[in-house]
Structure 1
Amino acid sequence: MDALDVARWQFGVTTVYHFLFVPLTIGLSVLVAILQTMWHRTGNERYLKLTKFYGKLFLINFAMGVVTGIVQEFQFGMNWSDYSRFVGDVFGAPLAIEALVAFFLESTFIGLWIFGWDRLPKRAHLASIWAAAIGTNLSAYFILAANSFMQNPVGYRINADTGRAELTDFPAVLTNKVALITFPHTLAGSFLVAGSLVTAVGLWHVIRNRGSADTGAYRFATKFGSWVVLVASAAVLFTGDIQGKIMTDVQPMKMAAAEGLYTTESPASFSVLTVGSLDGSREVFAIKIPYLLSYLGTGDPNGTVHGINDLQAQYATQYGAGSYTPIIPVTYWSFRFMIAFGMAAGAIALLVLWSQRKGRTPSSKWLLRAGLAMPVLPLLANSFGWIFTEMGRQPWIVFGEMLTRNGVSRSVSLAEVLTSFTAFTLIYATLAVIEVKLLLRYAKAGVPDVSEQPPTDDTDDAERPLAFAY
């Protein structure tokens, strides 16, 4: 074990942990805005209750996401200084805009939304949550644009004198075809997570607090969340199909590794199960669906999909001697876990809707247990998706331009990286306990009493003191 191994583990652990909060924040910000819009248009009290209820869960998650996200930027300079030096001119531009524009937008208007319930006019307060939601989604786009440069570098040139990548076409970075499809795919995954949480919490209250005055609100939340999950599941499949074709074009090794495809095939079969040799160089046993991989990768059932061994030989000739193959079991299984967990959440949502058909009230304990598992399933799907995305790019930190081993800080010792890794792991474990306890406490508490509603007209009450609405 050396500093490179620990630095990779540290960045991987902190990134996956941070991304547990990101999709819920992205999706829930929009769902809360929709619920408040429904209250604004109808005046129905149950929508106000659900807005404040899920808004509280959103704020808890948002705060935790901000805390854990700050660590990521420090690691670029501390553990990956050679990478930052090489790509900082390109990578820094979208991240700077994300911080100065998108994050400023979401954080400012979230503050207005929190403290503005009894101060802002009704329309202005509604606009603040929509502005925060837009800022959250813009933030995601700029970060994904930066990451997409690592997957498919565009809009740059290499300065031969400095050995650095220099930005030449910023619009090309923002319109990178990888970013253009990764963004809607990530949004769909985020709504899958948010819809699952809304469904799970609503279903728990429908079954455990049957006959309460707020049963109608919980029933609506359950159906609303389930439909969001189903629509998001369809969007994930649609965008994932397009993403697979783009990935085959710009990162053929990643697609080959995802399928355990060792030799070039035309047509290529989709692997349901593949067992490879211990050295990862050949297929030993496989169960396949004919033509499917060719269609997923190229759009043509008879299309050619290049295999791992052929691509390895090509890259060795193009980039020099060395292994350009990712860890096949990791990419192969993370790809399948991503799909399986996402589909499981959609199946449970369909079951929840079926249980409430024609006004029926669900009562099954098994359904309740499945419903409570719903938020975890898309979180796992998102996590495995990112593991696949990043591990499938290896050994490149910037595909075709810089190897991961060349991006690590040369002046940072193993002991220093190990110390920070241990500290972050312990801190994150503590934060995880706090996050789960807060979410469970406020989710069990149920919708709030809204008998004292904020002003319904568009006038500002200057006499009211500034107050935290939660």
Structure 2
Amino acid sequence: MDVIMLSRLQFAVAVFFHFIFVPLTLGLSLLIALMETRYVMTGDEAWRKHAKFWGKLFLINFTLGVVTGITLEFQFGTNWSRYSEYVGDIFGSLLAIEATVAFFLESTFLAVWHFGWNRVGKKMHLLSIWLVVIAGNLSALWIILANGFMQNPLGYVIRNGRAELDNFLAVVTNPYAWGMYAHTLISAWLLSCFFVLGVSSWHLLRKSHVEFFRRSFRMAAPIALILSLALALSGDIQGKNVAELQPAKLAAMEAHWETSSNVGFPMLLVPDEANETNSMEGLTIPGLMSWIAYGDSNAEIKGLKDFPKEDRPPVTPVFWSFRIMVALGVIFIVLAASAWLQRKREMPCRGLMTTLVWSIPLPYITIALGWLVAEVGRQPWIVYNLMRTSDAVSPVPADNVMFSLIAFIVVYGVLGLLDIFLLRKYACKGPEGMEA
């Protein structure tokens, strides 16, 4: 493999491993804040116990997530130096704000929250966890804004042979970035709800700490239903952004080869990228793809054949990742609705609870597939229609990148297994084991 592919693989490994930790951090902090809010408002000690139990799991995930995130920004200097040189004036400013403002705010008040039980007042302690929530979600915002510039570059001028910041307001109001941000946050919050539902179901199946986990189940179920529906809506909005701003990505997502109007949505097809066609195409709903993309069933959708081959994204991985992601999204709605309907029962259906336990990994897989669609679907551009990925890589030997790639896989693999081990260990102990 050449240095370009190896550098892409290394960054993909770093990002995907880091994103094992990020969504649970974003969503679980919000649920903990809601639990502690109920404790402060009602004085019910059970909610304090809930906040401490789920808070310990949050801290494990947050700590390991920080470790995996440190190396990401360094890769822009080691593996993508030409990219950093070309757009660093814009990209670097966004990452600097994230690191020096949002991340340090989150870390500081997380320490206040963790060490402040019985040391600061209830309201101050509650404020600290809400500031963790706000700072964590702000941290995600600045990173998504940086990625949004790569997807839809705005607010720059070409000067001195590089892209320089010209309009900061245009960068931070990028509609593509805000669509990504909404979709990312909602998916992270939903992942955390399914994590709580899955862990609660595991204990309920074993009749362990029944009252405690019944309460957690009842709290998470309606939030999961609302978020699963909101996720579908945000996905539709972002899909329309893709249609308007990245038509080649849309065509790859749908394996659409010929430019046409009133485009139907085939329920079943297999893309044949080599022959620029599809096979096994059947059960097509007339006009649905045009309506989904543009809100008009007669709208024209540009086909992949109208783009030069060197400007087309890889069709097969983008198409299947998108289809599987959407299918899993439908499953989440069904599971969340089922949990909501059974939340007031003394003991929800065993089949549902078993499914929820085994469904804990599914939101992680769905988020990974969504990022694969977003990033691979942008290729061959590292900054859409501005800079090619092949022009952004550092001039380093491929052997060096191969060595660091193997090292990343080994180290991140250990950290990933450690996170799973610790979360499983302390989640299975329950609240009494956690207090001890």
Q: What range is the shorter-chain TM-score in?
A: over 0.9
In 2, Cα distance between equivalents of 1:280 and 1:66: 45
2:247 is aligned with 1:248: no
Q: By how many angstroms is 1:261 displaced?
A: 0.3
RMSD: 1.6
Q: Hey, what does 1:459 align to over in structure 2?
A: none
Runs of 4+ in 1 over 4 A off after TM superposition: none
1:289 counterpart = 2:285: yes
Aligned to 1:302: 298
Deviation at 1:356, TM superposition (A): 4.2
Structure with bigger helix share is 2
Asked if 1:350 corresponds to 2:357, the answer is no
Is the aligned partner of 1:441 residue 2:422?
no
**TM-score, scaled relative to structure 1:** 0.90
Q: Deviations over 1:298-317 (max 9, x none)?
A: 1111111111111x14xxxx
Q: What's 1:36 paired with? A: 36
Conserved in 2, the CA contact under 8 Å of 1:89 and 1:167?
Answer: yes
Q: Judging changes above 3 Å, is the alpha-carbon distance between structure 1 residues 327 and 267 closer, same or farther for their aligned structure 2 residues?
A: same
Contact 2:290 2:297 in 1 (8 A): yes
Q: Distance in 2 between matches of 1:428 and 1:261?
A: 37
Provide, for residues 170-221 of structure 1, a one-character-per-residue CA deviation record: whole Å limited to 9, x for no partner. Answer: 11100000112111111110111000011111111122125xxx42221121
Q: Indicate conservation of the 8 Å contact 2:202/2:357, yes or no.
A: yes
Q: Secondary structure at the match of 2:269?
A: strand
1:280 deviation in Å?
A: 4.9
Q: Rate the CA distance shift 1:280–1:133 in 2: closer, same or farther, 3 A.
A: farther
- Give unmatched runs, 5+ long, in structure 1: 314-321, 451-468
Mean CA deviation greater in 39-48 or 440-449: 440-449
What is the rounded CA distance, in whole Å, between the counterparts of 2:349 and 2:206 in structure 1?
9
8 Å CA contact 2:232–2:329 kept in 1: the answer is no
The CA deviation at 1:50 is 0.8
Letter in 1 for 2:379: Q
In structure 2, distance between residues paired with 1:432 and 1:387: 19
1:245 is aligned with what amino acid? K
Instruction: Give the Cα–Cα distance (whole angstroms) in 1 for the partners of residues 161 and 206 of structure 2.
Output: 63
- Select which of 343, 356, 360 maps to 1:371: 356
Structure 1 residue 119 and structure 2 residue 106: aligned? no
Q: Who is 1:227 aligned against?
A: 222
Deviates further, 278-287 or 246-255: 278-287
Letter of the aligned partner of 2:41 in structure 1? R
Q: Which amino acid aligns with 1:391?
A: V
Partner residue, 1:463: none
Q: Which residue does the alignment assign to 1:456? A: none
Once the two structures are superposed, what CA deviation does each residue of 1:362-384 show, in whole Å capped at 9, x if it has no partner?
362x3333111222111111000
Letter in 2 for 1:239: S
**Pairing partner for 1:405 from 373, 380, 390:** 390
Aligned pairs (5 A) from 1:1-20:
1-20=1-20
Partner of 2:27: 27
CA contact (8 A) 1:87 1:165 kept: yes
Using the TM superposition, give the Cα deviation of residue 349 of structure 1 relative to its aligned residue in structure 2, in angstroms.
Answer: 2.6
Q: Aligned partner of 1:221: which letter?
A: S
Do the aligned partners of 1:57 and 1:442 also contact (CA within 8 Å) in 2? Answer: yes
Aligned to 2:253: 258
For 2:191 and 2:271, how far apart are their aligned partners in 1? 33
1:385 aligns with 2:383: no
Q: Equivalents in 2 of 1:373, 1:435: separation in Å?
A: 17
Tell me the SS of whatever aligns to 1:158: strand
Q: What is the TM-score normalised by the length of structure 2?
A: 0.96
What stretches of structure 2 of length at least 5 have no aligned partner?
A: none
Aligned equivalents of 1:380 and 1:135: distance in 2? 25
CA shift at 1:351, angstroms?
A: 2.5
**SS, match of residue 117 in structure 1:** coil
Counterpart check, 1:183 vs 2:181: yes
Please report how far the alpha carbon of residue 11 of structure 1 lies from its aligned counterpart in structure 2 after TM superposition: 0.7
3-state DSSP class of the match of 2:300? coil
Amino acid at match of 2:315: I
- Matched residue type, 2:322: F
Alpha carbons 2:228, 2:336 under 8 Å: kept: no
Counterparts of 1:232 and 1:112 in 2: how far apart (Å)?
29
Find the aligned partners of 1:132 and 1:283 in 2 and give their Cα distance. 48
The CA deviation at 1:447 is 1.5
Q: CA deviation at 1:387?
A: 0.5
The match for 1:329 is 316
Q: CA deviation at 1:353?
A: 3.3
Give aligned-pair identity as a percent: 42
Structure 1 residue 231: deviation in Å?
1.0
Q: 1:278 to 1:94 in 2, by over 3 A?
A: closer
- The whole-number CA distance in structure 1 between the counterparts of 2:221 and 2:232 is 17
Residue identity in the other structure for 2:318: T
Structure 1 residue 295 displacement after superposition: 1.1
Equivalent residue number for residue 271 of structure 2: 276
Specify the structure having the higher radius of gyration (Cα). 1
**Equivalents in 2 of 1:241, 1:12: separation in Å?**
26
- For 2:401, the equivalent position in structure 1 comes to 417
CA distance in 2, matches of 1:349, 1:289: 27
Q: CA deviation at 1:449?
A: 8.2
Give CA deviations for 1:13-46 in whole Å, capped at 9, x if unaligned. Answer: 1111111111111111111111000000001121
